[in-house]
Structure 1
Amino acid sequence: MFTCNLTDETELRLLEIRHAEALYLLTTSSSAHLREWLPWVDHINHVADSRAFIESGLKQFTHQDGFHAGIWHRGQLAGVIGLHGIHWGNRSTSIGYWIGDRFEGKGLVTMATKALVHHCFDELNLERVEIRVATGNPRSQAIPKRLGFTEEGILRHAEYLYDHYVDHIVYSKLADEHQ
């Protein structure tokens, strides 16, 4: 199973079925905060919905096609980070992340993303890692910028978010840019 210690108080752990209730509670308690940028929030209505998400990540992990890891801080689930899928022919992936509102501002997502980028290049031997962020979400944009990703451009109307489309900025990092 995938685990990674970030600090004495913070770690990444592959989400498992036993984490479904914690994931559900974090998602629902942060739904107003998350809903601004994530189109799936309104579809999380029961613990079973969180369980299904975890099962999909475990299936990805089994097939070496990505995974979902919990960001655990001081023993509590604080957020989620993962690989949306791995394109082995191109040796590329994209990273997605979110954090519960009460855990914002602690640098947890930046630490988690940095660790996952290292995993992608050092363990999985990938060539390219991508992060896509809504143009109106500066907090999320700050993460790839801090980690030395290159801004490649804007995908117009890349995602339908409840009642409107949002544009995405595409950031990438290549293996030879990784330290």
Structure 2
Amino acid sequence: MTGRAEVILLRHYKHVRRYLYRHLNHRMEADDLAQEVCMRFLQSYRGQTLESPVAYLMTVAKGVLATFYRESMREKRVLVVDSELVETDAKDGNGRDPAEQCATDMDLVRWLGQLPRTHRAVLTAYKLHGYTYVEAAARLGLSIQTVKKYMTQAKVQLRECRLSREVRQLETIKKATRERGRRIACCDE
């Protein structure tokens, strides 16, 4: 029974992975979800003859993809503003401009969406749900070392996103200052 299932998976794995990559456009997440499709198929396959194994696997893949999208949307609804993730200047304090805070929250949601699914899951388990590394590892089925590694990589990627945003803001300020200088120079003549 397992032999037939393995043959089916080996023959059609590329199709499943290609389908998932086309919908996700992220190689690591497509690989993770393809593995999930394989696991679900192996758990449910009972040796029956399948008219179209590809159609069966694609149905499983669609279910896995739907679950993934639901979880992603649930994570995006929760705005996690943490001092380690989005460092703020001391001058901002609690009196931040609401529009600026909203922009920061939206950036954070976008940045979280750019993280691989595994990294995002580790980050939300630790930061949002308050699990320790050991608890997060047990809940996610990962080793403690892997949880630490994903956490570090997620923080680094989020800091890089924040820094790139700050660079863009500085470039915009410089451009506006140059424009203002040109207008003042024109008025003086």
TM-score, normalisation: structure 2: 0.27
Of Structure 1 and Structure 2, which has the larger fraction of its residues in strand? 1
